[in-house]
Structure 1
Amino acid sequence: MFELVKLTENTMYFDLPAKIGVYKLNNSEVVLIDSGINAKTAARVLEILKGENLKIAFIINTHSHTDHAGGNRYFCETTGCKAYAAEVEDMLIEYPDVEATLVYGGYPCNDFRKKFMNTEASKTYRISEAPLPKGMEIFPLWGHTAHMIGVKTPDDVYFIADSVNGISTLEKTKICYVYDIDTQLETLNKLKELEGSLCVPSHAEPTRNISEIVDANVQNLLEIRRDILEELSKGPLTTDEITARLGKKYNMKLDFTGLVMVSSALRCHLVSLRHKGLIDWFIEDYVHYWKVG
C-alpha cells in the first residue's frame, strides 16, 4: 500500500485500491492522474512525493467517482494546484450531491453516502484547459461514467481508469457499475487496439495483454444481459425482483450501498435491452414491470 511503482523513466503509480498515476514533468514537478479516495490518502501521497522532492503541478481526474477524485480538495487546498476533468465529470466533482443522486435515483439518504459517494466538493477545470506536456494525450473512455477519459503519457503508458475491471473483481463482484452499457461495449472494443501497449487499469495490474481482460469484461456484460432475459422469459418482473433474482444467482453479498449500486447498474442494463427492442414494460396497480419484448 502506497508503494510508488516505477513503470518507465518518468511514469509511475501509487499502488492503491484505485491507482494514482504519476508522470514526472521534470526533476521537481509531477502530474497526478486521479487523486485517491479521501484526504487521508492524499496526505500520505503528498508526504511521499515531498520525500522525493516532487511537487504537484496539476491533477487530471479520469472521472468523478470518489475513489478517483476524493483527494482533490486536499491536494488543491494544500498545494495550490488545479484539477482538470472532462465535461460533465468536472461538474460532478464540483457538485458531488448530483453524482450520488444520479446513482441513487433521487436525493440520497446518508446510509448510501458513506465511503464511495461522499466526495468533498472541489473546484475542477475543463480538461481542454489543462497545460498538458508535449506527447501527453487524453482519449475518451465513455461507458463506466458519462465522459470518463484515459491518459497516455509521453513515454507511451496508457492509464485506462475504470474502463475494465480485473478478472478477479468480475468473479467476486459480478455486477459492476456501468452507466451506459452499449457505449461501454464500444469502448472495450476500442481498447483492443492497445494490445501490446503498457496499460494501467485503476483496479487491476498493469498489462501489455489488454485483450484478455477486455474479453473478460465483454463476456461479463453479455452474461448479465443473457441472465436478465432468461429471468424475464419466466414472466414479468420489477427491477427489484430482477436485482434479487440475479443477486441470488450470483451469490452476491451486498450491504445497502452495494445493493443500490447493483440495482442502478441493472437499470442501465434494462435500458440497453429496452432500446434494442428486446424487452418492454407495463404498469399494473401502480407497479412498473419489465417483460420480454
Structure 2
Amino acid sequence: MKMIQLTEKCFYFQGAVNIGYIRSGKFGMLIDAGLDAQTAKKVCRQLTELSFPLTHLFITHAHADHYGGAAYIQEKHHVYTFASKEEAAILTNPILEPLYLFQGNKPLPELRNKFLEAAPILIDEEAAEGEHQFGDVLFECIAFPGHSLMQLGVKADGILFAADAYFGTAQLKKHKIPYIIDAEDTLQSLEKLLTTKCLGAVPGHGTYEEAFQETVKQNLEYHQHVLSVLYNMLSGDSLTHEQIIQKMCRQFDVNPPSLSSWLLFRTAITAYATKLVKDKKAQMVVEDAILYLKR
C-alpha cells in the first residue's frame, strides 16, 4: 500500500481499502485497519520504517474489509481504539454481521469467512458525533449512516476521512448496485457531505480529491438512478421479493457467484425497496405467505 501525505499531520495508505493516518508528535492514529493481518502488517511496517508513532486506532464502521487487520494491530501495538456505540457492538461480536445478513439465522459455515466476519477487537471508547481528542490532536467525528448503522467519518487538519459515505466513480461502476442498508440515510449522508467544509476527502474506496463534491454528486445521481430503475419495474404486476432481486441483478448485469455475494446484493436491493415504501411509492404486502412489492 502506498503512503500518501496530504497535510503536515494527515496521510493515507492507498489501496483497495484506504487507511487513514493522523500524526502529531509522539501520537499517531490509524483510521481503519484493512481486510486482514497481512494488510495491517504492511501498514505497520511502513510506520515503523518512518519512525511514526502508532498509539490510537479509529474504526469507522464494522465491515470486515475495514477492520479485519485491527486484531493484529491490537496484538502488536498498545493502541487506544475508538468506534461508535452501534458499530462497537459488531466489532466486539463479529458474528453479528453474517447473522444479520442471514436474516437472523445462525450463519452457515460458508458465511463465516474473513470478508463477512473478522476477529473480534476491544473498543476503549465509544465515540459519538462531535469533537474528540487523542494526545494533543483534536478531531471531529461526523455521522454518515446508510452504508452501515452508524458509520463515523473523521475530520482533522482540514482532511475528511469519509470511509464508505461515498465511493469513487470507478467503484460505483464496478459494484453496480452499491452495498447500503438504508437508502434514505445514504442520500442524507451524501447531502451532508456536500456541506462539509474541508480541504479534501478520502473515501474508503477510491482516491483523495480536493474537489470531492463532484464525485459525491455522482453518487447521489447513481443512487437515484437505482431507485428509478426499481420503481419502473413495479409498473406491471406485483413482484415477489426474490423476483425483485433477480430482476435488479439482471438489469445491472450482476450475477452473484456465492451465497455471501447474493446476501449482500439482497440487502442493498431491499434498502432501495424500503426507500420506495417510506416515500409511499410502493408497498410491501404478504399474500399466501409470500412477500410482494408493488406500487
> Is the TM value for this pair above 0.5?
yes
Q: Are residues 6 and 102 of structure 1, via their aligned partners in 2, closer, same or farther at CA, if it must alter by over 3 Å?
A: same
Answer whether contact 2:23 2:53 (CA < 8 A) is retained. Answer: no
1:25-174 superposed matches below 5 A: 25-26=24-25, 28-106=26-104, 107-125=106-124, 126-127=126-127, 131-132=133-134, 133-153=136-156, 155-174=157-176
Q: Deviations over 1:68-102 (max 9, x none)?
A: 11111111111121211011111110011112222
TM-superposed deviation, 1:64: 0.8
> Which amino acid letter does the alignment assign opposite residue 160 of structure 2?
Y
2:285 corresponds to which of 279, 282, 288: 282
Worse overlay, 267-276 or 125-134? 125-134
Residue of structure 2 equivalent to 1:202: 204
Answer whether contact 2:276 2:282 (CA < 8 A) is retained. Answer: yes
Q: Are residues 191 and 170 of structure 1, via their aligned partners in 2, closer, same or farther at CA, if it must alter by over 3 Å?
A: same
TM-superposed deviation, 1:60: 0.7
**Is the partner of 2:218 in helix, strand or coil?**
helix
Q: Are residues 92 and 230 of structure 1, via their aligned partners in 2, closer, same or farther at CA, if it must alter by over 3 Å?
A: same
**Is the partner of 1:136 in helix, strand or coil?**
strand
**Is the partner of 2:90 in helix, strand or coil?**
helix
Answer whether contact 1:64 1:90 (CA < 8 A) is retained. Answer: yes
The whole-number CA distance in structure 1 between the counterparts of 2:46 and 2:137 is 26
Q: Deviations over 1:162-213 (max 9, x none)?
A: 0001111212211111112111111111111247721111101111212211
Answer whether contact 1:279 1:291 (CA < 8 A) is retained. Answer: yes
> Which amino acid letter does the alignment assign opposite residue 24 of structure 2?
L
Residue of structure 1 equivalent to 2:232: 230
Q: Are residues 115 and 71 of structure 1, via their aligned partners in 2, closer, same or farther at CA, if it must alter by over 3 Å?
A: same
Structure 1 ranges of 4+ moved more than 6 A: none
Residue of structure 2 equivalent to 1:15: 14
**Is the partner of 1:138 in helix, strand or coil?**
strand
The alignment's C-alpha RMSD in Å is 1.7
TM-superposed deviation, 1:137: 1.3
**Is the partner of 1:75 in helix, strand or coil?**
helix
Answer whether contact 1:94 1:124 (CA < 8 A) is retained. Answer: yes
**Is the partner of 1:144 in helix, strand or coil?**
coil
TM-superposed deviation, 1:253: 3.4
TM-score by length of 2: 0.92
TM-score by length of 1: 0.93
Answer whether contact 2:22 2:28 (CA < 8 A) is retained. Answer: yes
Q: Deviations over 1:6-39 (max 9, x none)?
A: 111221111121111011121x431101111111
* Structure 2, gaps ≥5 residues long: none
TM-superposed deviation, 1:131: 4.1
Worse overlay, 198-207 or 47-56? 47-56
Residue of structure 2 equivalent to 1:217: 219
**Is the partner of 1:96 in helix, strand or coil?**
coil
**Is the partner of 1:135 in helix, strand or coil?**
strand
Paired residue total:
289
**Is the partner of 1:55 in helix, strand or coil?**
coil
**Is the partner of 1:282 in helix, strand or coil?**
strand
